[in-house]
């Protein structure tokens, strides 16, 4: 088990229905796209979450949704400023080094891309973000402002102005002439990752250009 370190929660705020952003001081440097393990006790096996904040921010932030049947997120959602949680050092290799790339995320899978964007790595990137409702399109204001026409929010349950009405998979299927020589980064539940990967491959993107991060 990775070593964990106690840290005081700075803030734990609801940013959307059933979604929280947990903040604590940035005590370890990291590379945007990396994960961190979190537990509520020193003895527990930490659960992994992608860091959602930028590499220069004073606070490290974790985006999570509460799973009622989960062991961690129900008590985590009740954490308040000053409470102690345990974190591992950041690790992981879901790192986008290229100048030009396409990012595809659904749900809290947006976290590594938020970290990259908050770290200033959004130039040359295209983001396709999927959510059920506009409220759960996390960080959409920032992405819209910084990425402009390179930002494609896809809303599967509601028709909203400025959003593609459908899933990210529907959006991608409708695209013609997508670039096949640039890398694609996917993050979300396995089903989305697998479906998007299949679509990209069917459109001529070599699998060697597809990088995936999965939730488990």
Partner 1 sequence: MQKPETKEALFGKTLSQLQEIVTAAGMPGYTAQQIADWLYKKEIGSISEMSNLSKAHRELLEEKYSLGLSEPVKVQTSVDGTKKYLYRSHMGKFIEAAYIPDSNRATLCVSSQVGCKMGCLFCMTGKQGFQGQLSAGEIVNQIKSLPERDQLTNIVYMGMGEPFDNLEGVMQSLEVLTAEWGFGMSPKRITVSTIGIIPAMKTFLENSNCHLAVSLHSPFEDERQKLMPIENVYALPEVLKTIREFPMGKQRRTSFEYIVFKGLNHSPRHAKELARILNGIRCRINLLYFHPIPDTPLEAPTEEEIMQFKEALEAKGLTTTIRKSRGQDIYAACGMLSTKEMQKK
- Is residue 3 within 8 A of residue 87, CB to CB? The reply is no
Q: Which is nearer to partner 1, 163 or 210 (CB)?
A: 210
For the bound state, the minimum distance from the C-beta of residue 178 to partner 1, rounded and expressed in Å, comes to 16
Q: Which is nearer to partner 1, 163 or 200 (CB)?
A: 200
CA atoms within 13 A on the CB side of 112: 29
C-alpha dihedral, 82 to 38 to 7 to 110, nearest 10°: -80
Three-state DSSP at 198 gives: helix
Locate all alpha helices (DSSP H) within 9-56, ordered by sequence: none
For the bound state, the minimum distance from the C-beta of residue 45 to partner 1, rounded and expressed in Å, comes to 5
71 lies in the binding site for partner 1 (CB under 8 A):
no
Q: Which of residues 87-146 bind partner 1 (CB under 8 A)?
A: 91-94
Give CA 35 to chain center in angstroms: 10
For the bound state, the minimum distance from the C-beta of residue 213 to partner 1, rounded and expressed in Å, comes to 5
216 lies in the binding site for partner 1 (CB under 8 A):
yes
Cβ count within 10 A of residue 19: 18
Q: Which is nearer to partner 1, 174 or 208 (CB)?
A: 208
User: Can you state the angle between helices 111-118 and 140-147, rounded to 10 degrees?
Assistant: 50
Q: Which is nearer to partner 1, 121 or 211 (CB)?
A: 211
Q: Which is nearer to partner 1, 54 or 109 (CB)?
A: 109
- Binding residues (CB under 8 A) for partner 1: these are 1-2, 35, 45, 48, 91-94, 189-191, 193-194, 197-198, 201-202, 206-208, 210-216
């Amino acid at each position: 088990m990775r070593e964990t370190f106690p840290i005081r929660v700075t803030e734990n705020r609801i940013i959307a229905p059933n979604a929280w952003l947990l903040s604590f001081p940035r005590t370890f440097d990291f590379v945007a796209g990396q994960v961190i393990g979190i537990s509520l006790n020193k003895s527990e096996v930490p659960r992994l979450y992608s860091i959602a904040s930028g590499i220069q921010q004073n606070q490290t932030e974790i985006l999570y949704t509460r799973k009622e049947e989960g062991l961690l997120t129900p008590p985590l959602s009740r954490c308040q400023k000053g409470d102690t949680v345990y974190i591992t050092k950041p690790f992981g290799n879901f790192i986008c080094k290229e100048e030009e790339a396409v990012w595809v995320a659904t749900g809290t899978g947006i976290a590594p891309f938020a970290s990259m964007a908050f770290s200033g790595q959004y130039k040359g990137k295209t983001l396709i973000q999927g959510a059920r409702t506009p409220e759960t399109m996390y960080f959409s204001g920032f992405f819209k402002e910084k990425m402009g026409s390179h930002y494609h929010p896809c809303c599967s349950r509601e028709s909203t102005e400025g959003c593609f009405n459908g899933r990210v998979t529907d959006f991608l299927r409708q695209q013609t002439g997508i670039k096949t020589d640039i890398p694609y980064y996917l993050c979300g539940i396995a089903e989305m990752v697998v479906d998007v990967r299949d679509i990209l491959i069917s459109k001529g993107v070599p699998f060697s250009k597809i990088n995936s991060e999965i939730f488990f």
